[in-house]
Structure 1
Amino acid sequence: MQPVIRAFCASALAIVASASVVAAPMDGPQSARAGWHPAIQSAYDLLAEETNQLAEQASTYCAEPGANDRERLEQQWRDAFMAWQQVRFVDFGPVENNNLAWQFQFWPDPKNLVARKAGYLTTSDQPITADLIEQSGVAVQGFPMLEYLLFDKPFSTGKHALPATHSCALLTTVTRHLASNSKQLSADWHHFKTPYLNTEAYQASTIKSAMAALEILEERRLAKPMGLRGNGKRNPYLTDAWRSGTSLLSVEATLRGLQQHFLPDFLELLKQKGELQLAERIQRQFDAALDNFPEADRPMTALLSDDNAFRTLQGLYVDVSQLTTLVNDQAAVALGVVRGFNSSDGD
C-alpha cells in the first residue's frame, strides 16, 4: 500500500473514532474487541513470518536449485498459504486497502486468469520487476500465482518450468511482494488498534466477517465443487487450491483460524446475553466440523471421484452447514447482527 494512502486511511479512521464514537465499557462489546484485536494480530504476525520465509526459500531455490530445496519451497508455500487461510475471515480494516485480500488470493478465477497471466509473463522477454508485478493486477500478486508456478502439472513439464530463469524471476518477485504486503498488513493492524477498540461498529464488523467466511466456506468452497449447487456436477476445479491439492487443508485452516482467533470472545458475548446453551452448541459444532480431519485432508479430486470417499466430504459439508446456521442465524439474531452485503465477494 502506498504511504500516502495508508496515512490517509489511518487518519480518517482516527477522525471517525474521535468525532463520532463513544468508547464502550470494558465489560461489554469492547471487551470482545480487546480479545479479538491481539488474536488477529497474532495471525497477521504469523502470516508475515511465513511469507518472509517463503521469499527466502524461493531465493535459495532459484540461486542453487536442488530436489530438497524444491520440496522445502513447496512445503513453505503450504505453510504460508495456511497462515493466510487462518486469518482470511477478516474482511475489514487494513486488509481492505488496495484490495489486499485479493492480492493475497485472487479467487474465484472462473476465466483462469492466473494461468493466462503466468503464461504471458513466463514467455515474455519483459524483465520481471517489482513495478511490473505491482502493475500486473491481483491475479499475479499472490498465492495462486505461486501455486501455479510450483504445482501446475502442464506448466511443470514444459520448457518454462522452474527453475527456468524467467520463471524463477517471477517466483522470487511475487514472493517478495507477498512478504512485503504481509509485513505491512501486520503493522497496519497494530496501528488500527485504537480505532478498532473505540469504535463500537467494529464489533458487528468482526462478527459479520466470520459469518461471511462460514457462508463462503459452505456455499463456494464446498457445495459448488461437490455439485450441490449449480448444474449438480462434481467439479474439483471450482475449489480454491486444486493445483496443489490443498483445498481441504485450507478449509481446515479456516475453521481452526475462526476457532482460535474469533470463537472465544464470540462465545463470551453470547454468554453475556444469557445464551449459554447456544454458545455450548456452537462450541460443540466447531469441534464436530474439525473432527472430520485428518480423514478429509486429501485432495478434493480424490474425494469427489469416489462415492465411498465422497461420504467423508458429505459429513464435513453437513457439519459446516449446521455450524453456519448456528452462527449466521441463531447467534446473529441473539446478538442483533444483521448479515449484509459482503464486499469481498468470495475472497
Structure 2
Amino acid sequence: MQPMTKAIGVATLILAPIAGMAASQPDANGDAKEQWHRGILAGYQSLATGAGDLSHAAADYCSAPEQSSRDTLERAWLDAFLAWQQVRFVDFGPVENDNLAWQFQFWPDPKNLVARKAGYLLTGEDPISADVIAQSGVAVQGFPMLEYLLYDEQLNTGNNALPAPGTCSLLTAVAGHIESNSKQLSEQWQSFRKHYLATEQYRDATIRAGMTALEILEERRLAQPMGLRGNGKRSIYAADAWRSGSSLKTAEATVLGLKQSFLPGLKQLLESSSQPELGQRIGRQFDEVLEHFPDLHSPMAELLSRDETFSLLQGFYVDVSQLTTMVNDQAAVELGVVRGFNSSDGD
C-alpha cells in the first residue's frame, strides 16, 4: 500500500496549487472589476466636473467677451476634452446608449462634417437652442464642434467669428449638451455597478476595451498622420484635435487614463496568472510611453513638418507599439481574451 499512498500524496501536492488557483481566480476577477468600476467612475466624475466648468466658461465668455474670459474658455475646453480622453477607452455600458461616445467626440471626420454642420447652423434662420443641438446629430454635439468654433482659422477670420451672437448661441448650446451628457454618464455608471460586477462577460469586455484603445492610438491616431499607413504621406488632417494643436496632449491623456483606470485591474488578474510579473512589465512600459511628455506637447503639425521633431514622434510611436503588443498579444493571451471584431484593424 505504500506506493499507492505515496502516489496519492504526490497527486495532492500537484493538485493543491491548481485548486488554489481555481479558487482564487473568481476572487481576482471580482477584485479586478471592482478596481475597473472605481477607476472609470472617477474618470466619469472628472469629466462631469470639467464639462460643468466648460459650460459656465462658455456662458461667461459670451456675456463678457474679453480676452481673459476667452483664455478661461479655451483652458476649460481643453481640460474637459482631456478628461474625456482619459475615459475614451470605455466602449461598453452606459456610454453605448444613444451613441454617447460619438456625441462626445465625432472622429474620424474625413468629410469635414463638423465644419459643414456648423456652417449650416450659423447661416440658418432658426435660432440655435438646446433642442436644435439635440436633434442635429453627433457631428454637432461634442468637443470637436467647440474646437472648430474656438480654433478654426477660416471661421475666426470671418463674420461668424466668436463672439458673434449666432456662434455664441451654438457654443453655449453645445457646451450645455456636453455637460448634460457628462452628468448623465456619471450617474448611469454608478447605477451600472451592480450589473457590471455581477456579469462575467464584463471582465473580457473591459480588457478588450483597453486593447482596442491602444490599437486605435497606434494605428489611427499616430500611424495614419505620420504616413506609416495608407498612401505613406504625412497628414495633419488624419489626426484628431488638429485645429487646436492638441493631438499629442489627447494621446497623453488616453495613455494616462488607461494607466489609472485600466492597468490596476489588469495587473490584479495577471498576478493570479502563470505570468505574475507581466503586469509589472506592462506598468513600466506605460511609464516609458508617458516619459515622452511634456516634450511632445507641441502641435502635431510642427512634429510632422521637420525630420528632427518627427524623430520624437517616432520614438513615441515605437513605445506605444510595444505597449500595444504587451497588452494585446501577451496579457490578453495569458488571460484567454480573444480580440473582438470591432478592433481597428478592420476585421
Q: TM-score, normalised by structure 1?
A: 0.91
| Offset at residue 344 of structure 1 (A) | 9.1
- The AA in structure 1 aligned to 2:90 is V
Asked if 1 retains the 8 angstrom alpha-carbon contact of 2:216 and 2:344, the reply is no
Match of 1:74 in 2: 74
Asked if 1 retains the 8 angstrom alpha-carbon contact of 2:89 and 2:213, the reply is yes
Match of 1:100 in 2: 100
Asked if 2 retains the 8 angstrom alpha-carbon contact of 1:91 and 1:344, the reply is no
| Offset at residue 131 of structure 1 (A) | 1.3
Match of 1:206 in 2: 206
- The AA in structure 2 aligned to 1:37 is H
- The AA in structure 1 aligned to 2:211 is M
| Offset at residue 79 of structure 1 (A) | 0.2
3-state secondary structure, aligned to 2:36: helix
- The AA in structure 2 aligned to 1:87 is V
CA RMSD of aligned residues (A): 1.4
Correspondence 1:174 to 2:168: no
Match of 1:12 in 2: none
Change (3 A) 1:238 1:329: same
3-state secondary structure, aligned to 1:111: coil
Correspondence 1:88 to 2:88: yes
| Offset at residue 232 of structure 1 (A) | 0.3
Match of 2:18 in 1: none
Asked if 1 retains the 8 angstrom alpha-carbon contact of 2:140 and 2:174, the reply is yes
Give the distance between the partners of 1:35 and 1:86, measured in 2 at CA: 16
| Offset at residue 26 of structure 1 (A) | 6.0
Match of 1:7 in 2: none
| Offset at residue 277 of structure 1 (A) | 2.7
Match of 2:131 in 1: 131
| Offset at residue 276 of structure 1 (A) | 2.3
Asked if 1 retains the 8 angstrom alpha-carbon contact of 2:25 and 2:272, the reply is no
- The AA in structure 1 aligned to 2:232 is G
Aligned residue runs from structure 1 range 1-347, under 5 A: 27-342=27-342
Asked if 2 retains the 8 angstrom alpha-carbon contact of 1:103 and 1:139, the reply is yes
Match of 1:17 in 2: none
| Offset at residue 271 of structure 1 (A) | 1.2
Q: 1:225-278 deviations in whole A, cap 9, x for unaligned?
A: 000000000001111100000000000000000000110121121111031232
Change (3 A) 1:315 1:307: same
- The AA in structure 2 aligned to 1:147 is E
- The AA in structure 2 aligned to 1:28 is A
Change (3 A) 1:182 1:345: farther
Q: 1:25-45 deviations in whole A, cap 9, x for unaligned?
A: 762311100111111001000
- The AA in structure 1 aligned to 2:259 is Q
- The AA in structure 2 aligned to 1:190 is Q
3-state secondary structure, aligned to 2:139: coil
3-state secondary structure, aligned to 1:107: coil
Give the distance between the partners of 1:180 and 1:280, measured in 2 at CA: 38
Give the distance between the partners of 2:294 and 2:202, measured in 1 at CA: 34
- The AA in structure 2 aligned to 1:284 is R
- The AA in structure 2 aligned to 1:146 is L
Change (3 A) 1:312 1:301: same
Report which stretch shifted further, 220-229 or 128-137.
128-137
- The AA in structure 1 aligned to 2:226 is M
- The AA in structure 2 aligned to 1:91 is D
Give the distance between the partners of 1:171 and 1:278, measured in 2 at CA: 46
- The AA in structure 2 aligned to 1:302 is E
- The AA in structure 2 aligned to 1:317 is Y
Asked if 1 retains the 8 angstrom alpha-carbon contact of 2:219 and 2:344, the reply is no
Change (3 A) 1:344 1:70: farther
3-state secondary structure, aligned to 1:100: helix
| Offset at residue 283 of structure 1 (A) | 1.2
Give the distance between the partners of 1:344 and 1:191, measured in 2 at CA: 30
- The AA in structure 2 aligned to 1:170 is L
Asked if 2 retains the 8 angstrom alpha-carbon contact of 1:51 and 1:178, the reply is yes
Give the distance between the partners of 2:283 and 2:25, measured in 1 at CA: 26
Identity of aligned residues (%): 62
Asked if 1 retains the 8 angstrom alpha-carbon contact of 2:61 and 2:70, the reply is yes
Provide runs of 4+ in structure 1 moved above 3 Å: 343-346
- The AA in structure 2 aligned to 1:215 is E
| Offset at residue 291 of structure 1 (A) | 0.7
Asked if 1 retains the 8 angstrom alpha-carbon contact of 2:303 and 2:309, the reply is yes
Match of 2:6 in 1: none
Give the distance between the partners of 1:93 and 1:192, measured in 2 at CA: 8
Give the distance between the partners of 1:28 and 1:203, measured in 2 at CA: 10
5+ residue gaps, structure 1: 1-23
